[in-house]
Structure 1
Amino acid sequence: MKKQLLASSLALALGFAASNVHAADYAIDTAHSSVIFKIQHLGYSWLYGSFDEFSGEFSYDNADSSASSIMVNINPNSINSNHAERDKHLKSGDFLDVSKFKEASFKSTSFEQKEDGMAVLMGDLTIRGISKSVTIDVSKIGEGKDPWGGERVGFAGETKFKLTDFDIPMNLGPASEEVTIILNVEGVKK
């Protein structure tokens, strides 16, 4: 009986270990990653900016994409649109209200690999204390060893949402109701 129990326990432990063998945890390399936004300016041009302070980590399983996940924290006070007065306005209660809301975040709920090399990442985006489910179209940029012996993998993704989805009160006109977030994430295996 003891041998059977020991054999069953060992088989269970080995099965669990084998099921997790492909999953790898990565720290986001913020020096080689970016969180960029773009929004139309009055319908005449695109205004690009970034959030310069963010952190996070992700798990990526090449063999079983459903085991992949990501968590990113963004400091909204780090918004940079290359114009100090505009950045001050974007940090105000008209937009991000950084005095009340010190953090924005994204936490995935699912990752589905497609046959064409693309993937769909779903998760909860939180801005101004409001969480909404968003879908991010993702492509894998590359994966492999770096010159220092580490392992890296990189992805790019994009999503859109309306400013009103997160109770941003400033009305910029019909051409500027929607903002696009562009994510470029490079991870270093822990």
Structure 2
Amino acid sequence: MKTFLLAAGFAAASTAAFAEAEKYTLDPSHSQIVFSYNHLGFSTTYGMFSGFGGEIMFDQDNPAASSVSVSMPVTSMITGWEARLGHFMSPDFFDANADEMVSFVSTGIEVTGDNTALITGDLTLNDVTKSVVLDAKLNQAMVHPMAGVPFAGFDATTELKRTDFDLGQFAPFVSDEVQVMISIEAQKAE
């Protein structure tokens, strides 16, 4: 789910003026991962991760050498309903403790357009690691009008299967497929 997406935006930013790889760190106050799934055909249910950290390294001369890494505690999930969150953290799903992390580490970038790219990476969720592809878009890269330092913003999407991560309880009645939408801001590191 992570993020996920960041390096692709940099890789696709052909107008950005970077001479070599530069480090950007996620702005946790403006970075979210929203996920949704079909609940028994009656509704679409949403959840979210926010306030997570990560970094992007971008190489203008060799965008395929760029990278992204993101991680967050699974217990930082937000569902909007305490009982549902408790169920997600139970043995039916994550059986999570405060130390369990969700992480994404990129393994490859394919630039697909002026502001788009596919980021392949290893997603670790529920102690299972699988390769996923994020369809990423650079929204903009410029000096932040309030912070006065370079920022970049990205959106990305992907679809995950719960059963791939040993989280398939109640599938297929509760959909196995989970839609993931990512939107982040990253600040150039000092």
The TM-score normalised by the length of structure 1 is 0.83
Report the alpha carbon displacement of residue 101 of structure 1 after superposing the two structures with TM.
6.2
Over residues 87-140 of structure 1, what are the superposed CA-to-partner deviations in whole Å (9 max), with x where a residue is unaligned?
Answer: 100111111221286111000001111125320000000011110000110011
Tell me which structure has the larger Cα radius of gyration. 1
Partner of 1:179: 178
Partner of 2:187: 188
Over residues 56-93 of structure 1, what are the superposed CA-to-partner deviations in whole Å (9 max), with x where a residue is unaligned?
Answer: 11112345321221100021101111111001001111
Bigger fraction of residues in helix: 1
In the alignment, the residues of structure 1 paired with residue 60 and residue 32 of structure 2 have an alpha-carbon distance, to the nearest angstrom, of: 23
1:157 aligns with 2:156: yes
Give ranges in structure 1 of 5+ residues lacking alignment: 1-19
Partner of 2:52: 54
The TM-score normalised by the length of structure 2 is 0.83
Q: Which has the higher contact order (CA 8 A, sep 6+)?
A: 2
Over residues 14-51 of structure 1, what are the superposed CA-to-partner deviations in whole Å (9 max), with x where a residue is unaligned?
Answer: xxxxxx83322100001011011111111222111102
Residues 25 and 189 in structure 1, CA contact (< 8 A), matched pair in contact too: yes
Q: Do the aligned partners of residues 142 and 76 (structure 1) sit closer, same or farther apart at CA in structure 2, a change above 3 Å counting?
A: same
Residues 51 and 75 in structure 1, CA contact (< 8 A), matched pair in contact too: no
Matched to 1:187, the amino acid is A
Q: Among all aligned residue pairs of Structure 1 and Structure 2, give the percentage whose two residues are the same amino acid.
A: 34
Partner of 1:83: 81
Q: Do the aligned partners of residues 47 and 62 (structure 1) sit closer, same or farther apart at CA in structure 2, a change above 3 Å counting?
A: farther
In the alignment, the residues of structure 2 paired with residue 142 and residue 133 of structure 1 have an alpha-carbon distance, to the nearest angstrom, of: 27
Aligned residues: 171
Give ranges in structure 2 of 5+ residues lacking alignment: 1-17
Matches within 5 A, 1:27-46: 27-46=25-44
In the alignment, the residues of structure 2 paired with residue 48 and residue 169 of structure 1 have an alpha-carbon distance, to the nearest angstrom, of: 17
Partner of 1:93: 91
